[in-house]
């Protein structure tokens, strides 16, 4: 089985950065999908460090 730590780390960092940018730039009222992207990046980061 391949070690996917680096790939998961890069993907999670990318998701966190994209989510942060979307949170900052989105000025709409209502559900902001930047938070969902940000937290999914955090979950992937948490999973990659534990596994």
Q: How far apart are CA 6 and CA 43, in angstroms?
A: 15
Q: How far apart are CA 15 and CA 44, in angstroms?
A: 9
pTM for the complete prediction? 0.81
Amino acid 18: pLDDT: 92
Yes or no: say if 41 and 23 are a contact pair by the CB < 8 Å rule: no
Amino acid 11: pLDDT: 92
* List of the chain residues with pLDDT < 70: 1
Give the CA-trace dihedral at 23, 28, 33, 39, to 10 degrees.
40
Residue 29, CA distances (Å) to 14, 39, 43 in order? 25, 19, 25
């Amino acid at each position: 089985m391949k070690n996917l730590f680096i790939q998961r780390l890069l993907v999670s960092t990318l998701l966190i950065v994209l989510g942060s940018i979307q949170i900052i730039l989105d000025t709409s009222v209502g559900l902001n999908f930047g938070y969902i992207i940000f937290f999914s990046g955090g979950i992937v980061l948490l999973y990659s460090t534990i596994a």
